[in-house]
Amino acid sequence: MKNRVKLFRPARPANLFRICHIIITCTLFFVILSLTACSTNCIRDNINHTFTPTDIKIIKHHVSEDLRDIELLMQRLYLKNPKYEPDLEMRHKKLDAIFRAGEVPECDYLNLASNELLTMAFEPDCPCRDRIFILGMGLAKSIHEAYNVEDVVFISGVQIPVQRLERLYYNLGRVNWLLKTRRDEHGELLFLTNEAGENGYINMEYEKIFTRIITRTGDDIYMRDGLLNNFLLRVGTSFLSILTL
């Protein structure tokens, strides 16, 4: 009997490799093609979603939570210190201006660095009537200055200068201390925060908010092998510039 010609032969390893190579190449081609059809923001979002490592995801989560806590702090400060902005509608506009890119109320201090805004918020003769707005703007800007997560495609947490995180940590601790201690020329506290109720219960909500923010910042410094202890007990007379390295 004559040997029959085999119409189909089992694929050899070399052929399998060639097939896999073609499939991968085609897949990459279509991915690149889809990316080029997007805007720059679309490309950045796709890269971040696909390749963002765990440390960057944690840092971005921390930034989001920090800003949320700063807004909560401002809301509680307005409730406790309504003299700085009696108009409820204007309070909401100011919060939107800081945290949701809303229309910014007339202010001559928007271009100041975070340390300058924070210093102004506690000055005896603050040029802005609303100290809470200046304080909130300074705190939010300090987070953006330290992390700068909106304008950069992050591949690793090492892209964030650890010195900025250390200075942010120091400034946050100083704000927490000044909120409870800084007084005006009449001996009155500039900001009313924690206090004891009639039943002796002490409301420590402000302390809890700052503890959360400072703890997250300390964790980020630890991830970057920063020198947290160098700033823990440091006492200074002014806020540190985060951007000046």
Block residue for tokens 């900001």: 191
**Element at 202 (helix H, strand E):** strand 202-203
Predicted confidence (pLDDT) per residue in 115-158, tens digit: 999 999 999 999 999 999 999 999 999 999 999 866 666 666 66
Long-range contacts of residues 205-211, Cβ cutoff 8 Å, at least 24 apart: 205/76, 206/73, 206/76, 206/77, 206/179, 207/176, 209/69, 209/72, 209/73, 209/76, 210/73, 210/172, 210/175, 210/176, 210/179
The model's pTM is 0.73
Res. 224 pLDDT band, cuts 50 70 90: confident
Predicted confidence (pLDDT) per residue in 227-242, tens digit: 455 444 444 556 788 8
Block residue for tokens 């040029």: 127
The pLDDT value recorded for residue 54 is 74
DSSP state of 3: P
Tokens found for residue 92? 């909401």
The pLDDT value recorded for residue 202 is 73
What is the C-alpha to C-alpha distance for residues 92 and 96, in angstroms, rounded to an integer? Answer: 6
The pLDDT value recorded for residue 241 is 84
The pLDDT value recorded for residue 83 is 96
Question: Which sign does the torsion angle of CA 13, 15, 20, 25 carry?
Answer: positive
DSSP state of 183: B
More confident residue, 145 or 200: 145
Kindly give, in sequence order, each residue whose CB lies less than 8 Å from that of residue 79, ignoring residues fewer than 6 positions away: none
